[in-house]
């Protein structure tokens, strides 16, 4: 196991951005403290080659101007909140309307646009980076003073661990995730439409034409959302609706670590299994990638990466029937996701 640290760049205010690289087993991941962002994940294949399987940028400038959320840690609330507002304990809170009239990933300066405190450490059979961020009362329109602690690490058994812990001093919606875009063939190596996916979800969150939940949880049976048996991404909604951008309800008990998704890329033989304590997982197929420049001259066209963002359901602050996302002084937020890789 190995931990490396180096300078990645500097902001205009003089704050340094650091790059942390962790190596364990056959995997290597790099992260920066700007946005607590995953910048690369290098994995071998059955053919003997090694590829970076994360979409992203080669330098800091790309991340500073990023609008696709490549690899960032999203908060205070990941995904969309309808009408860019919610009511809690008799008070209405107004948020940034940065997605039509809705709020997306907390607004213009969410956790993904901030410098996190960071320290590295070793524990048992793994190496980790522990990121910390303090968010003051009123930040992006949300109530309460909040402290987020996010640990990312690799283990010798080829697992990528993501552990999220939040404390806030008044009741507040909380929903953290990492917005990594994967291409198990290697970033820049075409689309992900031939990847084979299984989602352990019998229902999904129905949304309107602005991607805001209607409040209904629909069965996937006999629909384009049925990934209960392994099938290629190119089937179903990609053909009808230009792609998936939907939250799937993870079967089993929220709060318990359980399998939510499996992905296999036949060309390289790489596979990824995801386990989570979260109630849902947002399956996004890179529908809004537009050919913009990525790493090493790559161009990220539509569907050249996919996301599986473990999280609470979108618009939960306005949906009383969804599992609660309200945390506060008597209830901390603590969720965990494990990505297990094979090759």
- Alpha helix ranges (H) inside the chain: 60-64, 237-241
Does residue 76 have a cis peptide bond before it, meaning omega lies within 30 degrees of 0? yes
Question: Is the distance from CB of 185 to CB of 46 less than 8 angstroms?
Answer: no
Tokens found for residue 133 = 């961020």
CA distance 77 to 111: 9
Q: In 89-244, which ranges are E strands?
A: 91-94, 103-104, 117-123, 126-135, 146-155, 159-168, 172-173, 177-178, 196-199, 203-207, 213-219, 231-232
Instruction: Kindly tell me the burial class for residue 73, based on how many C-beta atoms sit within 10 Å of its own C-beta (0-12, 13-18, 19 or more).
Output: buried
Q: How many CA atoms lie within 13 A of 271 on its CB side?
A: 11
- What is the DSSP pairing of strand 258-265 with strand 213-219? unpaired
Task: Report the Cα 227 to chain-centroid distance in Å.
Answer: 20
- Alpha helix ranges (H) inside 132-236: none
CA distance 68 to 286: 9
Q: Compute φ and ψ for 312, nearest 5 degrees.
A: -75, 165
Q: Point out the residues that are catalytic.
A: 179, 309
Element (H, E) at 151: strand 146-155
Q: How many CA atoms lie within 13 A of 278 on its CB side?
A: 33
């Amino acid at each position: 196991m190995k931990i490396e640290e180096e300078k990645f760049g500097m902001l205009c205010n003089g704050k340094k951005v650091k790059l942390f690289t962790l190596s364990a087993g056959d995997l290597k991941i790099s992260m920066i403290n700007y946005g607590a962002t995953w910048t690369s994940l290098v994995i071998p294949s059955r053919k003997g080659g090694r590829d970076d399987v994360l979409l992203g940028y080669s330098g800091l400038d790309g991340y500073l101007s990023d609008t696709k959320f490549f690899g960032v840690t999203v908060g205070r609330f990941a995904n969309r909140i309808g009408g860019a507002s919610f009511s809690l304990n008799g008070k209405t809170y107004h948020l940034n309307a940065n997605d039509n009239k809705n709020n997306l990933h907390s607004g213009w300066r969410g956790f993904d646009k901030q410098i996190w405190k960071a320290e590295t450490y070793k524990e048992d059979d793994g190496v980790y980076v522990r990121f910390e961020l303090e968010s003051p009362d009123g930040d992006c329109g949300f109530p309460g003073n909040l402290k987020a602690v996010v640990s990312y690490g690799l283990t010798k058994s080829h697992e990528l661990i993501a552990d999220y812990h939040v404390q806030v001093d008044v009741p507040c919606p909380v929903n953290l995730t990492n917005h990594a875009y994967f291409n198990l063939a290697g970033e820049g190596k075409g689309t992900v439409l031939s990847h084979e996916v299984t989602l352990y979800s019998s229902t999904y969150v129905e949304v309107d034409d602005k991607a805001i939940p209607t409040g209904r949880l629909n069965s996937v049976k006999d629909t384009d959302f049925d990934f209960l048996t392994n099938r290629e991404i190119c089937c179903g909604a990609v053909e009808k609706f230009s792609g998936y951008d939907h939250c799937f309800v993870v079967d089993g008990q929220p709060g318990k670590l359980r399998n939510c998704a499996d992905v296999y890329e036949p060309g390289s033989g790489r596979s990824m299994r995801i386990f989570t304590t979260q109630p849902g997982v947002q399956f996004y197929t890179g529908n809004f990638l537009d050919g913009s420049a990525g790493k090493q001259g790559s161009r990220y066209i539509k569907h050249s990466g996919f996301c599986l963002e473990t999280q609470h359901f979108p618009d939960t602050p306005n949906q009383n029937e969804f599992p609660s996302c309200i945390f506060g002084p008597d209830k901390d937020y603590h969720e965990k996701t494990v990505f297990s890789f094979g090759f």
